[in-house]
Chains A and B, each alone.
Chain A
């Protein structure tokens, strides 16, 4: 016995097993009929689509378990289209599987690598081509071309310059000024402290002149949440306490993490939660981050009341609102 290890041998492609339709003309005829039935079903699907498009009104709803209230017009169009397309596919595949030849064929592969001869020739051709252009012999052309190409890349970049203005101060400022009234959003109604009961929340924006249009850009920076607690529930330093008024505290509603609206307020725990990434802020401690990915508290807006008793800002925000950016603290 030799010491060489004998491996298990490849028995080769198994013998082909004929399908019934290959040998039995009846089975073949049956398969043909099945394919034809599928194509006819497809035609019925298209008919359903046409009927739905032309004759089913768009306002008929009916109840289907699981799906709930369903629009008949939409369902008819969709199911018609689905049946029409699916049955064409099913018919084609059934045809291929039952009636088209199913004998496996063997083709040979060839290595992709070219002959060494061809590779050499290729390198030679490239070298000769480069040499005949004289790139190596004419350094002046090479360098000036390189410089010209490099410089020409400036133009597309430069021409994109008008995509937008430079940020300037815009990320750092809001519309809030000393004395700006807080008005409800929606409704634009100025608020008195008495409008808010303890435990209540209100979304507010800075008051604008009547007829003036409020842009989304302003809302994206100006949205402020008012929350009223009992004054003794605050756990604030003297300065921050002086920014509140009769237990009403105001925070920027724009999350300090990624700018979503911090819209969920839990009355019992006095936590504000951002629904996007679940950063959680403690209202009693000047919106300190107590959970989640946000790194900074929500900016607090100092508020007081004006001569008419309406809530107003004492001063603009003392820091930029919204998500961080490179120059934020600069």
Chain B
């Protein structure tokens, strides 16, 4: 789960990481005056609250010197469609705006904590080159990046903090403050079950170190014990994706026109890939789950058909725990319920496959069956092409 900047900074504040004076996030202009007041004396920084990066260049971050200028800029940003390399060409709508006091920047640094999958622990990544995309830096100047592993039971230790500080050329009189900040950021990572904490830039100012920006991703698997975070609205998923999630279905909308229903995440990806190899484009990723019942199959069908781009449906089930006859019954019920009008290709394999195929045949509903996935994909691609041309 990705958090917005102002949500991330609330977690920072809670663990003692210094952030700029905040006026809070506002959703309408009427609240701007109060927010400016809360943020203290100007100039102020107005920041579009969206999950994508690259906001500055996209016009989502502005400096305001007077309340009047702030009003004008806030009017521009709130409601704008922000388009950055990370949003895709369609962009994202800006629904809220963070108002902060400005900071006098002496130096910009980069600091993040990520999960190192191979080392199986969090790792702090830091660089004296703040403000730059870390991926670019890692590619161009890998020697400019320092990495320090974090023990998940102990957090960052003082000496590790100093090691980072020396590598970043933190002035001696600031070292104690830097170590405290790095340790506090690791506390954020560990205490809130994060998979990413990123501060870019972390800035040196005459008044001290500040996390000027903040990006946090929380581990979805830990939301059962992060109740306050779990209660935040899900901004990352589309309406359909949220609806699917509520029914225990893993669904991700894509740009193509062949709707897929598959059991298992790996096979669902494999099915999408096979469609592409056959010359088609998948409209979605959909894993109906290992414990799918007839109801869930029907729901999955309804969800993938809500995508108006879908011109044909491909069902690919490898019955393991899930029985093919149950899937077949679910497909039949769904087709009748939604009065399916587009071509349907079904490939069943595994547990109770004969019973499943017999059920489909007896139902009399119009569908194409396939023995293997390649055949199924080719048939679905052909059907989608015909339907798209019609």
Q: Do these two chains interact?
A: no
